Structure 1
Amino acid sequence: MVTSSTARKLHLAVAQLGPVQRADSRKQVVLRLLELLKDAASRGAAWVTFPELALTTFFPRWDMDDSAEIRAFFETEMPGPETRPLFDAARELSVGFYLGYAELDGDRQFNTSILVGRDGTILGKYRKIHIPGDAATVSGAALQHLEKKYFAVGDLGFPVWETPDAKIGMCICNDRRWPETFRVMGLQGVDVVMNGYNTPSGYVQWNEPIHLRMHHHLLSLQSAAYQNACWIASAAKAGVEEGSPMIGGSAIVAPTGEVMVRTFSEDDEVINFVCDLSVCEYYRANIFNFAAHRRPEHYGLILERTGAGAPLARP
């Protein structure tokens, strides 16, 4: 890995969760999150990334129509009585964190993450933009993935927060597969992107080899970190949850594109790494000096089209 003569260090941790079953209460899950937070703090970490939808099982695997049943998976306030201990612990330990959860905002439902500072206060919120899956049950599918039924497209963009430690951005699960996610944050000089995910190993509606799930997960993180000169801390929900296996593979990836540390279990597990943020600056001043090398006047098609279409006419 590239090293810098003027290192600027930040100790990051990723807290992977093993499966959360439908019968598990929020109180039980928060106790697990607290243990992971304390573990990370004992290693010297300043920030921790938790997974997407960390407080509940991944409920979009079921087609539900009863509004009370659905809304039981959503948070109406953050922190609430059951999640408050996590915020109190963050303040006591001086450890910030990213937390993913299902958010109910009036009648709107979002797949959301928050950035909580080392003083236990909420610094920012992100709502998932690239919603995968389907809006209705797919006949004959071995596994349903109904995020489009339960979540609206996020409306907050891809902001970056300038904390005392680093410029930090957030994204959620499928967002990591889309280069626009990271380029928007890269154009804001992001140092660290935190990403939580719940990726099933069996959700493939075509004949794709299962091993490619982990390959594409890591490929997305590595290319995004390199092309945007940032660190990425990515946290999985892993293991067999309600009969559905998930890939795990939580990782911390450097601006070089190298995976510096990753999990290999499918259980609750903390990984950590002391990141040199000056490596971000090195790449931003050289190969990915956006101001010197980007040519946005030639990128118009990215905004003009959503789907692929015919080649543009040549002059």
Structure 2
Amino acid sequence: MNQRTLTAAAIQLGPIPLSAPRNEVLDRLVALLHTAADAGATFVVYPELALTSFFPHWRIDDRNELLQFYETDFPHGSVAPIMRAAAQRAVTFEIGYAEVTPEGQLFNTASLVDGTGELARYRKVHLPGFADEQPEAQHQLLEKGYFGVGNLGFPVTEVQRARVGMAICNDRRWPETYRLLALQGAEIACIGYNTPVATPHLPEIDRLTHFQNHLSMQAGAYQNSMWVIGAAKAGVEEGVDQIGGSAIIAPSGEIVAQAHSVEDEVVVAEIDLDMCTRYRAEVFNFLHHRRPELYGPISAAMDPAWPYPMAR
């Protein structure tokens, strides 16, 4: 039996200024895809909201101004240059962007795309931040105001003999994300993210931001016997410092490749897809070792006082 391997790349992006023309951003993304392909990658993961600045960091009251950040014709008009490069280099890519539907719904979205078109779409479920401006915060996080909760579930799609799922940024912190993908047989989780160094309402964890970023992805990879490809927006973007740390993580939980800058950078690794099979047979065999029938209703196990008030 032939070993199933796939050479994958996490594309890290340095800052994208608010004033950056779309054609310049696309030129960067195409150049990075070619760099990844030159290194042997046939599967590429871009960050969350890879086509624009991370605009939820700013209050934008005018809807027409806000909608300039959203895609209406994805994938053909929006990423046609990347699709052409992907067709030329036989690459499949996953990319994050802001989506507005024909009905006017707004989503933080990621899609799997190859040279022929879109293969699958995911809309972010775990939206962080707030719907309204927080005047005391050093930067805003207005995702709850700019996006609706995703309504497509967690799709898993076969790509290049691998079962691939998608998640976006804050999704990576929730164990349900990985478990829902793993229960569908996902072998790769693609996770684009934009994560500030500073947490405005909990500054005590700022020193842990890099650690917790990798911790969540490594735990998800290990506990679900899957590869995780995390692709970041990095560096100081319009005054907001973002962490980077793009990484490719094995089912063992080990980081096998990692970015070392906060600029545009391509992180490449050959991944052994059969490692998922081996770990799922010997370490985390869901069929033989999980006992969901004994867990009981979650509501019965929860303390009704949760979340605890600041003082009791």
TM-score tier, shorter chain, comes to over 0.9
Aligned pairs for 1:31-70 (under 5 A) are 31-70=27-66
Deviation at 1:189, TM superposition (A): 1.2
1:202 maps to 198
Q: 2 CA distance for matches of 1:121 and 1:131? A: 27
1:260 maps to 256
Partners of 1:9 and 1:276 within 8 A in 2:
yes
Q: Within the alignment, does 1:109 sit opposite 2:106 as a pair?
A: yes
Q: 1 CA distance for matches of 2:67 and 2:301? A: 31
CA displacement 1:88-138 (0-9 Å, x = unmatched): 111111000000000000210000000013x43211000000000001011
1:71 maps to 67
Deviation at 1:294, TM superposition (A): 1.1
1:287 maps to 283
Q: 1 CA distance for matches of 2:301 and 2:18? A: 36
Pick aligned residue for 1:216 from 198, 206, 212: 212
TM-score, normalised by the number of residues in structure 2: 0.94
1:135 maps to 131
Q: 2 CA distance for matches of 1:63 and 1:21? A: 16
Q: Within the alignment, does 1:147 sit opposite 2:143 as a pair?
A: yes
Pick aligned residue for 1:271 from 267, 274, 284: 267
The AA in structure 2 aligned to 1:18 is G
Aligned pairs for 1:125-204 (under 5 A) are 125-204=121-200
Deviation at 1:204, TM superposition (A): 3.3
Partners of 1:26 and 1:55 within 8 A in 2:
yes
TM-score, normalised by the number of residues in structure 1: 0.93
CA RMSD of aligned residues (A): 1.8
The AA in structure 2 aligned to 1:120 is T
Unaligned residue ranges in structure 2 (runs of 5+): 307-312
Unaligned residue ranges in structure 1 (runs of 5+): none
SS of the equivalent of 2:164 reads strand
The AA in structure 1 aligned to 2:77 is P
Q: 1 CA distance for matches of 2:294 and 2:61? A: 46
Q: Within the alignment, does 1:88 sit opposite 2:84 as a pair?
A: yes
Q: 1 CA distance for matches of 2:176 and 2:14? A: 30
Deviation at 1:306, TM superposition (A): 12
Identity %: 48
Aligned pairs for 1:228-243 (under 5 A) are 228-243=224-239
1:273 to 1:207, Cα distance in 2 relative to 1, 3 A: same
User: How many residues get paired?
Assistant: 305
Q: 1 CA distance for matches of 2:63 and 2:234? A: 28
1:266 to 1:296, Cα distance in 2 relative to 1, 3 A: same
Partners of 1:27 and 1:82 within 8 A in 2:
no
The AA in structure 2 aligned to 1:250 is S
Q: 1 CA distance for matches of 2:163 and 2:304? A: 36
1:309 maps to 304
Deviation at 1:21, TM superposition (A): 0.6
CA displacement 1:185-229 (0-9 Å, x = unmatched): 101111111110000111331232422111100000100000110
The AA in structure 2 aligned to 1:160 is V
